[in-house]
Structure formats: C-alpha cells, structure tokens
Chain A
Amino acid sequence: MLNIALLIAFALVTAAFALALWRLLKGPSAPDRILALDTLYINAIALLVLLGIHFGSDLYFEAALLIALMGFVGTVALCKFLLRGDIIE
C-alpha cells in the first residue's frame, strides 16, 4: 500500500516540479521567477524526503536540510538584490 502511495506521490511532486519550472521560464517579472525558484527548492525537499522513505535510507535527510538552509539564503539574497540593487552593503 505504501509503495503505491509513494508512486502517486512521486508523480504529483514531479508534476509540481514541471509547473514551477514553467512559471520560472514564463516569468513574467523577476519576483515571479524568484518565487518559482523558492517553490522549486521546497519541491526538491519534498522529493528528497520521498526518496528517503522509498529507499529506506537516512542519508537523504542531510541533503534536505542543506537544501532548506541554502534555498532560504538564496531567496533572501535575491529579494535583497531587488529591493536594494545590492546584496552586501
């Protein structure tokens, strides 16, 4: 039962990836693209967690944590860049 649920979940998360990628390519504005990148990293965390359950491996957790940390920093840096035209003041 869990395997079927995981398969459906993989399909849904992959579709979510595709939708976010479409928004990333389409834009139309810079904040839209940053939002799409933000969504992509959250989707990546979801996918890694699912892979962790699927393979029964603990190793994916570290990757998910690192993506969460780096993704947030990236979003903040890009927003700062839009707000100030500069990241490091």
Chain B
Amino acid sequence: MNDATELLLSLLVLAGAIFTFIGSFGLARLDDFYTRLHGPTKATTLGVGSLLIASATYFSVTGDSLSLHEVLVALFLFITAPVSAHLLAKAALHQRLTSLAPLPENAENRPGDALPAAPPSRAEPDTRGEIPNTPGGAHDTSLRERGT
C-alpha cells in the first residue's frame, strides 16, 4: 500500500466516522422528533457509505483480488434508509407527536395546495408545547382503510 492510497483511506475513514458521529449528535441534540429524524437517517447513510468504500478499497489493495462485496451493504442501506425514515415519520404523525413546525391542517383534503407560509417559528425548545398537533380529523380511519 503506497502513501497516496493510505492517505485516501485515512480521509475516507475519518469522513465516515465524522458523519456517523454528526448523525447521532443530531439525534441527541435537536429539539423535536421530526427534526431529529433528519440526522441519523441521512448523515449515517453517507457516513457508513464512505466507511464501506474505504473497506472495499482496503481489501482490494491488500488482498489478492478485487473486493466489492461491501457495495452490497451500502446498496442495501441506501434502499432501506428512506423507507424506515418515511415509516418513522408516518408513525410519529399517527401518534400526533408535537412538532416545532406547525402541522398542516387536514393535509388530506387539500391536495395541490402549497401551504401558506407558516408563522415564523423561531423555534425555541420551550415553545414546543404551545403548538397543538392536529393532523387531519379523518386520519385514523384513513390509515386503516389504506391497509394491504
């Protein structure tokens, strides 16, 4: 392994670890569930992605043949991460978790209508209880009806 590859590998490993850390840091630091959702599901994808690229490069350089099976894990993570993020957001809406951003009133009944600009939510942690969380009234039934 020459110096250039080693430098590249070190950079990839460091970048991956930093992104992984930032994802978890966002999870611990941010104030409401919906913003927390962004940290881990995104930053970790890129973080683990670059770690896997580093691993593939390392084993291709040191081993006797090309090693690409890390691509499988990366591919799988890139397919599944958005699905779990979507499901988590849906579950949170279903549970009517409070949010820093005002929830759209009855989003089901207003297709095609971009929301009017929300009141400036200079979000401070202690204001989150003040915004009532009211998803559409027909929400419960809509979830059941949409079943498989």
Contacts and interface: CB of A to CB of B under 8 A. Distances in A.
Task: Answer whether A and B touch in the complex at a CB cut-off of 8 Å.
Answer: yes
B6 A8 contact: no
B27 A46 contact: no
B87 interface: yes
Interface residues of B, number: 56
A79 B33 CA distance: 14
B48 A45 contact: yes
Interface stretch (B77-85, B102-110, B117-125): B77-85
A65 B92 CA distance: 28
B141 interface: no
Contacts of A35: 27, 33, 36-37, 40, 88
Given A35-B33, A49-B55, A20 B13 contact: no
Contacts of B77: 42, 45, 68
A39 B24 contact: yes
Contacts of B17: 8-10, 12-13, 46, 50
Interface of A: 1-2, 4-6, 8-10, 12-13, 15-17, 19-20, 22-23, 29-32, 34-36, 38-39, 42-43, 45-46, 49-50, 52-53, 56, 58, 61, 64-65, 68-69, 72, 75-76, 79-80, 82-84, 89
Give the 4 A-B residue pairs with the shortest CB-CB distance, closest first: A9-B17, A16-B24, A5-B10, A79-B87
8 contacts: A9-B17, A10-B17, A58-B67, A64-B73, A79-B87, A82-B94, A84-B143, A89-B148
